[in-house]
Amino acid sequence: MITSSDIRSLVINLRRRPDRRAWIAHSLPPDLPATFTSDWSGLFDGHELSRADLEVTGYKLFLWQIESDNAWWSRPLKYGEIGCTLAHLACWRHAAEGGSEPFILVLEDDAILEPTFLDDLLEGLERLIRHSHFDLLYLGRYLLDPDQPTLPGFVSPGYSHCTFGYLLTRPALDVLLATHLEHAIVPVDEFLPSLYIDHPRADLRARFPRQLTAFAFDPPLVRQRPKDEAGSDTEDSDFVEL
């Protein structure tokens, strides 16, 4: 039987956003204590990042901007996108370096958790592992391409954006870290889908080939606060200078 002790919980939060930390902390289940990235040092805040910071640490950016009708791909990366990716990467490293919990829950601080969140998550995990293997489980996301039906209450996710709520298995951490994302940084919204679908961008498909099995809760277990209410620390940042 899966219990809350089988889950390590981490929350993406910036030090300058104690308001968002307090907001999500209020809804986190008491039986699921969380570690916050705002308690760590790291290049997570797009307002403080520069190319020099990345060069000093050895981080390298993927050649992101291409000619495309997709506005997301035809412009430079934003520093907030880079910081967000590095925060998620720090969570994966932190979970891989210590602990033995079989599941790792990653939330962003604008995730909306219902009062029954933990019970629903545990019940859903029990059903899923009885019938299928998985590496990545979306709790919520923004769908771009159609899903495929699978088990009741779940789908095989199509191309999706947003990483405000997902769960990984411990073996999946090794797969994520073995890609060396720090040497070809892309938005984490694009990185995760590239590992479970054939990504629509050929260059991303080649650099980060498909290698995970993913599921998603249907209906979603977690929602995201509206941008006009919570703001966006990712989008509210400068473009990387070329």
DSSP 62-74: -----S-S-TTTS
Mean pLDDT of 41-68: 93
Angle, helices 79-97/170-178, rounded to nearest 10 degrees: 130
What is the predicted pLDDT for the residue at 193? Answer: 98
Model pLDDT for residues 168-195, shown as the tens digit of each residue: 999 999 999 999 999 999 999 999 999 9
Summary mean pLDDT of the chain:
95
User: Is residue 47, in this structure, part of any structural domain at all?
Assistant: yes
Q: Which amino acid is at 110?
A: D
Closest by alpha carbon to 128, among 161, 156, 100, 158? Answer: 156
Model pLDDT for residues 216-231, shown as the tens digit of each residue: 999 999 999 987 776 7
CATH of the domain at 75: 3.90.550
Model pLDDT for residues 113-153, shown as the tens digit of each residue: 999 999 999 999 999 999 999 999 999 999 999 999 999 99
**Tally of domains in the chain:** 1
What is the predicted pLDDT for the residue at 237? Answer: 87
User: Is residue 119, in this structure, part of any structural domain at all?
Assistant: yes
User: Is residue 82, in this structure, part of any structural domain at all?
Assistant: yes
Q: How confident is the model at residue 242 (pLDDT cuts 50, 70, 90)?
A: low
User: Is residue 242, in this structure, part of any structural domain at all?
Assistant: no
User: Is residue 204, in this structure, part of any structural domain at all?
Assistant: yes
How far apart (Å, rounded) are the C-alpha atoms in residues 191 and 81?
A: 12
CA 134 to chain centre: 16
In the chain the first and final C-alpha atoms are separated, in Å, by: 52
How far apart (Å, rounded) are the C-alpha atoms in residues 51 and 240?
A: 8
User: Is residue 241, in this structure, part of any structural domain at all?
Assistant: no
Mean pLDDT of 59-64: 96
How far apart (Å, rounded) are the C-alpha atoms in residues 159 and 142?
A: 9
User: Is residue 133, in this structure, part of any structural domain at all?
Assistant: yes
Per cent of the chain over pLDDT 70 is 99
Task: Determine which of 13-22, 100-109, 230-239 has the lowest per-residue pLDDT on average.
Answer: 230-239
What is the predicted pLDDT for the residue at 98? Answer: 85
User: Is residue 38, in this structure, part of any structural domain at all?
Assistant: yes
Are the C-beta atoms of residues 136 and 196 closer than 8 Å to each other?
yes
How far apart (Å, rounded) are the C-alpha atoms in residues 1 and 57?
A: 42
Domain that holds residue 160: 4-230
Are the C-beta atoms of residues 111 and 15 closer than 8 Å to each other?
no
